[in-house]
């Protein structure tokens, strides 16, 4: 079991009990874990009679929008749709909880607002290298599967549950299961013994895991699958070093009618090829190419992200960016990547 120290749990409980207006914030381009951990914890607060809101730096992709269905109106604020309300929720909070992010600038458009907060701040996260100076309470567990799992064990350590998952509200239990399942890619990476314990306890508490997995995996739009075929068939390049990469420009995204978040998961597929040790997806955005990196054990996606793409993340799943000011188009990105992986793999081997 993941241990949440008695002092840690008590400090959390004390901070929460004093709070009348809790603001939960997660990272830009929220994924299933960011959303699941935030919504799950918010729901727990609501059911405990506390006032809490979630602020997302930008809207969640359509593929996981189902997760917020059923939340009370006004409790999930999306900064891209209503920046004034997002800033107000942050500045008026008397307790700030950051989830699934280790530094404020992962919540990009909200960075300054977060820095300006004077209330107590709590971090709940599983990324390496949190900026501990920013928070009064730091719950950082890089070894754990997901922030959703960490929230689960935190709740299990509180008097309100007494370690009994059946005392979690249904929405909270579903959110945490969904977040953990997406972040581990349905138990295929980063799952540790406690992850299975969590799943077991939640299923015992009545969570319908099969329904959740079906909801996550089998509800995509046709456009996504057509683009996937095109990318694997025509855009994927594999270097001599065993690095597979795909560069997806804006024109192609438009041609296939692709929406935000619909390429989620693509980067994992080339890793199923035996000779591929690292897989990368570089996707054109307004002013940059967003970079996703995955690696097999023994190769560090995180180091590649840090050294060449101004990013970071986990050992086997990381990301970063290439500003268009540096590489203007897909051809420039391709050149940059070929050079970067050649130099990177020279040092790895
Ligand atoms: P994804 O490829 O799913 O977008 O991101 C995988 C992981 O990489 C994330 O969980 C996060 O830890 C990390 N990551 C993605 N983009 C960035 C970035 O721009 N900066 C940093 N530091 N980490 C990133
Ligand atoms: Mn996560």
Q: What is the tens place of the pLDDT at every residue in 210-222?
A: 999 999 998 899 9
As a whole number, mean pLDDT of residues 190-216 equals 97
**Closest by Cα among 62, 55, 97 to 80:** 55
**Closest by Cα among 305, 266, 307, 301 to 283:** 266
Rounded CA-CA distance 206/222 in Å is 32
Ligand 1: distance of its center to the CA of 338 in Å?
Answer: 21
- Predicted local distance difference test score (pLDDT) of residue 114: 98
- Kindly list the protein residues that place their beta carbon closer than 5 angstroms to ligand 2, a single-atom ion: 33, 100, 147, 183
**Closest by Cα among 43, 16, 17 to 168:** 43
Share of the chain above pLDDT 70, in %: 99
As a whole number, mean pLDDT of residues 266-274 equals 97
As a whole number, mean pLDDT of residues 196-215 equals 98
Q: Which residues on adjacent β-strands are paired with residue 252?
A: none
Average pLDDT, the chain: 96
Rounded CA-CA distance 330/237 in Å is 13
**Closest by Cα among 97, 96, 103, 137 to 117:** 96
- Predicted local distance difference test score (pLDDT) of residue 349: 65
- Predicted local distance difference test score (pLDDT) of residue 189: 87
CB of residue 313 inside a 6 A radius of ligand 1: yes
Instruction: Kindly tell me if the per-residue pLDDT of 332 is higher than 90.
Output: yes
CA angle 194, 270, 198 (to 5 degrees): 10
As a whole number, mean pLDDT of residues 281-307 equals 97
Ligand 1 atom 1 nearest Cα: 292
As a whole number, mean pLDDT of residues 302-310 equals 97
As a whole number, mean pLDDT of residues 192-221 equals 96
- Predicted local distance difference test score (pLDDT) of residue 5: 86
Ligand 1 atom 11 nearest Cα: 313
Range scoring the smallest mean pLDDT among 33-42, 75-84, 144-153, 217-226 = 217-226
CA dihedral of residues 262, 265, 270, 272 (deg, nearest 10): -150
- Predicted local distance difference test score (pLDDT) of residue 156: 97
Rounded CA-CA distance 228/222 in Å is 10
CB of residue 292 inside a 6 A radius of ligand 1: yes
CB of residue 40 inside a 6 A radius of ligand 1: no
Ligand 1 atom 19 nearest Cα: 320
**Closest by Cα among 93, 142, 129 to 113:** 93
Please, which residues have CB within 8 angstroms of residue 249's CB and are 6 or more apart in sequence?
284, 329, 330
- Predicted local distance difference test score (pLDDT) of residue 3: 76
CB of residue 320 inside a 6 A radius of ligand 1: yes
As a whole number, mean pLDDT of residues 34-44 equals 98
CB 146 within 8 A of CB 33: yes
Instruction: Kindly tell me if the per-residue pLDDT of 194 is higher than 90.
Output: yes
pTM: 0.91
Instruction: Kindly tell me if the per-residue pLDDT of 2 is higher than 80.
Output: no
As a whole number, mean pLDDT of residues 172-178 equals 98
Instruction: Kindly tell me if the per-residue pLDDT of 1 is higher than 90.
Output: no
């Amino acid at each position: 079991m993941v241990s949440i120290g008695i002092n840690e749990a008590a400090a959390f409980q004390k901070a929460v009990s004093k709070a009348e207006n809790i603001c939960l914030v997660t990272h830009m381009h929220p994924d299933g874990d960011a959303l699941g951990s935030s919504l799950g914890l918010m729901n727990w607060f609501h059911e405990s009679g506390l006032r809490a809101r979630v602020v997302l730096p930008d809207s969640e992709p359509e593929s996981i929008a189902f997760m917020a269905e059923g939340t009370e109106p006004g409790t999930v604020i999306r900064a891209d749709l209503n920046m004034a309300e997002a800033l107000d929720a942050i500045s008026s909070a008397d307790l700030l909880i950051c989830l699934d992010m280790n530094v404020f600038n992962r919540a990009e458009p909200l960075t300054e607002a977060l820095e300006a907060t004077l209330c107590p701040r709590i971090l709940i996260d599983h990324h390496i290298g949190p900026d501990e100076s920013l928070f009064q309470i730091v719950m950082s567990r890089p070894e754990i599967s997901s922030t959703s799992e960490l929230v689960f064990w935190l709740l299990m350590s509180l008097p309100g549950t007494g370690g009994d998952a059946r005392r979690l509200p249904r929405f909270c239990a579903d959110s945490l299961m969904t977040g953990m399942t997406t972040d581990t890619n349905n138990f295929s990476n980063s799952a540790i013994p406690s992850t299975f314990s969590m799943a077991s306890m939640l299923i015992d508490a009545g969570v319908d895991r099969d329904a959740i997995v079906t909801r996550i995996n089998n509800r995509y739009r046709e456009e996504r699958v057509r683009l996937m075929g095109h990318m694997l068939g025509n855009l994927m390049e594999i270097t001599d070093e065993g690095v597979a990469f795909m560069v997806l420009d804006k024109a192609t995204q438009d041609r296939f009618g692709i929406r935000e978040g619909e390429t989620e998961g693509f980067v994992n597929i080339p890793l199923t090829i035996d000779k591929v040790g690292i897989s990368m997806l570089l996707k054109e955005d307004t002013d940059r190419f967003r970079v996703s990196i995955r690696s097999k054990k023994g190769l560090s996606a995180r180091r590649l992200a840090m050294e060449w793409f101004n990013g970071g993340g986990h050992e086997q799943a990381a990301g970063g960016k290439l500003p268009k000011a540096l590489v203007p188009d897909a051809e420039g990105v391709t050149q940059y990547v070929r050079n970067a992986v050649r130099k990177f793999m020279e040092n790895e081997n």
